[in-house]
Structure 1
Amino acid sequence: MEHQACCCHKTKERSMEERKRLLNRLSRIEGQIRGIRGMVEKDAYCTDILIQSAAVTAAMNAFNRHLLADHIRTCVATDIREGKDEVIDELVATLQKLMK
């Protein structure tokens, strides 16, 4: 899998496989959101909507964990090897935002 550091250029070249995997996850999440919207439009019971909403939250958390792990393995590791220690502060700031 080919990776380029993303932290300095703020872009990342992903393999077709990785891009497809991320987009598939997002498509499933979009489908879940549309399902919730339909439930609201059909006046579904509150707890049923909440359960589906919790499933979307779990799916987004899984997406974020996958993306974060890939970021650390590629972008962060590459920048550290190249002596760009400021990437650590960026990672800490990102983790703080994710943990709000």
Structure 2
Amino acid sequence: MVGDEESIAQVLNRLRRAHGQLAGVIAMIEQGRDCKDVVTQLAAVSRALDRAGFKILATGLRECLDESKKSGDPLTVAELEKLFLALA
């Protein structure tokens, strides 16, 4: 991933948090915890991953566009839409 160090650190923190939350969900299922609690925690994992993805797109979009121009293989509107919709 390309971007400034602060943005990368934020993405990594979000992903580490999601990793811990997912481990918690797995443990909850193994322990036979209440469905409501498991789903609530799973939703938190999903939001954390979504936020990380949006941060990656927001920070990396300019670099992606610049790199694609330099390489002679520009990103199309359809490709950009596909990246955004992949997070929807």
| Same fold (TM > 0.5) | yes
Q: Residue 74 of structure 2 aligns with which residue?
A: 86
- With normalisation by structure 2, the TM-score equals 0.76
Deviation (angstroms), 1:72: 1.9
Q: Which runs of 4+ in 1 moved over 6 A?
A: none
Specify which structure has the higher proportion of helix: 2
Describe the superposition over 1:40-61 as per-residue Cα deviations: whole angstroms up to 9, x where unpaired: 1111000110000111111111
CA contact (8 A) 1:36 1:49 kept: yes
> Unpaired runs of 5+ in structure 1?
1-11
Cα distance change, pair 57–27 in 1 and its aligned pair in 2 (3 A): same
Structure-1 separation of matches of 2:63 and 2:31 = 45
Alignment of 1:20 with 2:31, yes or no, is no
The amino acid that maps onto 1:90 is E
CA contact (8 A) 1:79 1:87 kept: no
SS in 2 for 1:43: coil
Structure-2 separation of matches of 1:14 and 1:86 = 19
Which of the numbers 41, 57, 60 marks the counterpart of 1:68? 57
- With normalisation by structure 1, the TM-score equals 0.68
Structure-2 separation of matches of 1:61 and 1:20 = 16
Number of residues paired by the alignment? 86
Cα distance change, pair 72–13 in 1 and its aligned pair in 2 (3 A): closer
Q: Percent identity?
A: 30
Deviation (angstroms), 1:24: 1.5
Cα distance change, pair 55–13 in 1 and its aligned pair in 2 (3 A): closer
